[in-house]
Amino acid sequence: MDCVLIEALEVDTVIGVYDWERDILQRLVLDLELATDIRPAAADDDIAKTLDYAAISERIAAFAGEHAFALVETFAERLAETLRADFGIARLSLTVRKPGAVGNARAVGVRITRGEQP
Protein backbone atom coordinates (compact mmCIF):
# COMPACT_ATOMS: atom_id res chain seq x y z
CA MET A 1 0.00 0.00 0.00
CA ASP A 2 1.21 3.48 -0.86
CA CYS A 3 0.89 6.62 1.26
CA VAL A 4 -0.20 10.14 0.50
CA LEU A 5 1.72 12.44 2.84
CA ILE A 6 0.80 15.74 4.41
CA GLU A 7 3.59 17.08 6.58
CA ALA A 8 3.76 20.00 9.00
CA LEU A 9 0.22 21.21 8.27
CA GLU A 10 -0.49 24.10 10.64
CA VAL A 11 -4.00 24.79 11.92
CA ASP A 12 -5.33 27.09 14.62
CA THR A 13 -7.92 25.82 17.08
CA VAL A 14 -9.19 26.13 20.63
CA ILE A 15 -7.31 23.44 22.53
CA GLY A 16 -6.29 23.05 26.15
CA VAL A 17 -7.30 22.12 29.66
CA TYR A 18 -6.71 25.48 31.35
CA ASP A 19 -9.40 28.17 31.49
CA TRP A 20 -7.22 30.73 29.70
CA GLU A 21 -6.73 28.29 26.81
CA ARG A 22 -10.47 28.18 26.18
CA ASP A 23 -10.46 31.83 25.07
CA ILE A 24 -7.61 31.77 22.53
CA LEU A 25 -6.60 30.04 19.33
CA GLN A 26 -3.49 27.90 19.50
CA ARG A 27 -1.48 26.39 16.69
CA LEU A 28 -1.29 22.64 16.13
CA VAL A 29 1.11 21.01 13.66
CA LEU A 30 -0.05 17.81 11.94
CA ASP A 31 1.67 15.07 9.96
CA LEU A 32 -0.46 12.52 8.12
CA GLU A 33 0.25 9.30 6.26
CA LEU A 34 -2.84 8.21 4.32
CA ALA A 35 -2.83 4.67 2.94
CA THR A 36 -4.00 4.36 -0.64
CA ASP A 37 -3.11 2.70 -3.91
CA ILE A 38 -1.75 5.44 -6.17
CA ARG A 39 -1.48 3.24 -9.27
CA PRO A 40 -4.94 4.04 -10.74
CA ALA A 41 -4.31 7.78 -10.40
CA ALA A 42 -0.80 7.50 -11.81
CA ALA A 43 -1.97 5.38 -14.74
CA ASP A 44 -4.48 8.01 -15.87
CA ASP A 45 -2.87 11.11 -14.31
CA ASP A 46 -6.28 11.65 -12.66
CA ILE A 47 -6.67 13.35 -9.28
CA ALA A 48 -10.16 11.89 -8.91
CA LYS A 49 -8.52 8.46 -8.48
CA THR A 50 -6.35 9.39 -5.51
CA LEU A 51 -6.61 11.10 -2.14
CA ASP A 52 -6.75 14.83 -2.85
CA TYR A 53 -4.35 16.30 -0.29
CA ALA A 54 -5.59 19.84 -0.95
CA ALA A 55 -9.19 18.84 -0.17
CA ILE A 56 -8.07 16.87 2.88
CA SER A 57 -6.00 19.81 4.14
CA GLU A 58 -9.00 22.14 3.72
CA ARG A 59 -11.20 19.69 5.64
CA ILE A 60 -8.64 19.56 8.47
CA ALA A 61 -8.57 23.37 8.69
CA ALA A 62 -12.38 23.46 8.76
CA PHE A 63 -12.47 20.75 11.46
CA ALA A 64 -10.01 22.73 13.59
CA GLY A 65 -12.15 25.86 13.24
CA GLU A 66 -15.39 24.04 14.09
CA HIS A 67 -14.27 22.26 17.26
CA ALA A 68 -12.80 23.01 20.68
CA PHE A 69 -11.26 20.22 22.73
CA ALA A 70 -9.40 20.05 26.02
CA LEU A 71 -7.04 17.27 24.91
CA VAL A 72 -4.82 16.84 21.89
CA GLU A 73 -5.76 13.16 22.16
CA THR A 74 -9.43 13.97 21.57
CA PHE A 75 -8.59 16.25 18.64
CA ALA A 76 -6.54 13.47 17.04
CA GLU A 77 -9.14 10.75 17.57
CA ARG A 78 -12.07 12.78 16.26
CA LEU A 79 -10.11 14.12 13.30
CA ALA A 80 -9.05 10.60 12.32
CA GLU A 81 -12.69 9.44 12.48
CA THR A 82 -13.78 12.41 10.36
CA LEU A 83 -11.14 11.96 7.68
CA ARG A 84 -11.73 8.22 7.37
CA ALA A 85 -15.47 8.78 7.00
CA ASP A 86 -15.31 11.79 4.66
CA PHE A 87 -12.60 10.49 2.31
CA GLY A 88 -12.91 6.71 2.60
CA ILE A 89 -9.40 6.33 4.00
CA ALA A 90 -8.84 2.73 5.03
CA ARG A 91 -5.82 3.46 7.24
CA LEU A 92 -4.07 6.58 8.45
CA SER A 93 -1.33 7.63 10.79
CA LEU A 94 -1.75 11.05 12.35
CA THR A 95 0.70 13.01 14.48
CA VAL A 96 -0.61 16.09 16.27
CA ARG A 97 1.91 18.42 17.92
CA LYS A 98 1.19 21.37 20.20
CA PRO A 99 4.22 23.68 20.04
CA GLY A 100 5.18 25.58 23.17
CA ALA A 101 2.92 23.63 25.52
CA VAL A 102 5.87 22.65 27.70
CA GLY A 103 8.60 25.22 28.27
CA ASN A 104 11.61 23.01 27.65
CA ALA A 105 10.17 21.13 24.65
CA ARG A 106 9.68 22.28 21.08
CA ALA A 107 6.30 20.53 21.09
CA VAL A 108 4.24 17.83 22.77
CA GLY A 109 1.62 15.67 21.14
CA VAL A 110 0.31 12.28 20.12
CA ARG A 111 0.68 9.88 17.20
CA ILE A 112 -2.16 7.50 16.36
CA THR A 113 -2.80 4.93 13.67
CA ARG A 114 -6.36 3.99 12.79
CA GLY A 115 -7.80 1.53 10.32
CA GLU A 116 -7.04 -1.89 8.96
CA GLN A 117 -3.70 -2.98 7.58
CA PRO A 118 -4.22 -3.39 3.83
Half-sphere exposure of 101 (CA within 13 A, CB side): 20
pLDDT at 69: 98
Give the whole-angstrom CA distance, residue 90 versus residue 44: 22
pTM above 0.85, yes or no: yes
Annotated catalytic residue 49: no
Catalytic-role residue among 72, 76, 97, 98: 98
* pLDDT tens-place string over residues 54-73: 999 999 999 999 999 999 99
* pLDDT tens-place string over residues 42-58: 999 999 999 999 999 99
